Amino acid sequence: MESTRQQKVARLIQKELAEFMRTSSRNFGSGVMISVTVVRVTPDLGLARVYLSVFPSDKGKEIVKVIQESAQTLRYDLGKIVRNQLRVVPELLFFVDDSLDYADRIDELLSE
C-alpha cells in the first residue's frame, strides 16, 4: 500500500511529465499522442515507474524505447520544474501501458 507521500509525489510527477510530453510530443514523431497514465513511486522515493499510453498503439514500444533512452534528460528537466517541491527527483523508468488494448481485446472476444 502506498503512503500519502508516495501518492503525492506520484501525482506531481505524473502532472509535470504529462505537461512535458504534451509540449514536446512533436519530438517523438508526428501524429503520435503520448499520455502518462500511471506513476508508481517506490517507498524510498528513489525510483518512479512511469506508464505511458501511446496512440497509435503500434508505435508504442519504439516510442517508449526512445523516451527511455532520454530518461536522464527528462529527469533533469523534471528536476528544474519541481526543484521547489522535491529534494531528490526519482530515477525514471518508462513502460508501455497497454491496458486499453487489453480491454479492447476482451470486448472483441466477448462480442463474438
Query: 4-110 has which fold?
Result: GMP Synthetase; Chain A, domain 3 (3.30.300)
Tell me which of 24 and 77 has the higher pLDDT. 77
- C-alpha angle 104-108-111 in degrees, rounded to nearest 5: 135
- Give pLDDT tens digits for 65-78: 989 999 999 999 99
Using one digit for the tens of pLDDT, what is the confidence trace for 47-102?
Answer: 999 999 888 878 888 888 989 999 999 999 999 999 999 999 999 999 998 777 67
Predicted confidence (pLDDT) at residue 29 exceeds the cutoff of 80: no
Closest CA to 91 of 54, 41, 51, 21: 41
Entry pTM = 0.84
